Amino acid sequence: DAGVIQSPRHEVTEMGQEVTLRCKPISGHNSLFWYRQTMMRGLELLIYFNNNVPIDDSGMPEDRFSAKMPNASFSTLKIQPSEPRDSAVYFCASSPRMGGNTEAFFGQGTRLTVV
């Protein structure tokens, strides 16, 4: 398996623009997570899905952020409008199932810079 695939790897955009990050989980995995990593706050869970349904979005910072999972093999994280403080590395991860006894695997991340 190719692992969790994220695109793009790097994104530079101007403040106010819409940004869409994409993720393809490992085939057969039922849970998908979006994390954000910054120097100040470390790795933070933004939202996670189980069987394409959002289970917990309490980590989404504000209404400018939205995430969708239209099918089992694809998810998007959208920021509209983007702001400089959104600059971070965004990771997607997947695991075989929801619950405690499961191992998560991460994609290579998308480094977002908002200028």
Partner 1 sequence: GIQVEQSPPDLILQEGANSTLRCNFSDSVNNLQWFHQNPWGQLINLFYIPSGTKQNGRLSATTVATERYSLLYISSSQTTDSGVYFCAVIALDSGAGSYQLTFGKGTKLSVIP
**Which residues are at the interface with partner 1 (CB under 8 A)?**
33, 42-43, 45, 48, 55-56, 58, 89, 91, 93, 98-106, 108-109, 111
Task: Compare residues 15 and 43 and give the one whose CB is closer to partner 1.
Answer: 43
DSSP state, 83?
-
Minimum distance of partner 1 from residue 108's CB (angstroms): 5
- Closest residue by Cα to residue 89 from 24, 44, 55, 47: 44
Q: How many CB atoms lie within 10 A of CB 81?
A: 14
Task: Compare residues 79 and 90 and give the one whose CB is closer to partner 1.
Answer: 90
Whether omega for the bond prior to residue 25 falls within 30 degrees of 0, making it cis, is no
Coil, helix or strand at residue 18? coil
Task: Report how many helices (DSSP H) and strands (DSSP E) the chain contains, helices first.
Answer: 0, 11
Minimum distance of partner 1 from residue 100's CB (angstroms): 2
Minimum distance of partner 1 from residue 56's CB (angstroms): 5
Task: Compare residues 86 and 107 and give the one whose CB is closer to partner 1.
Answer: 107
Minimum distance of partner 1 from residue 48's CB (angstroms): 7
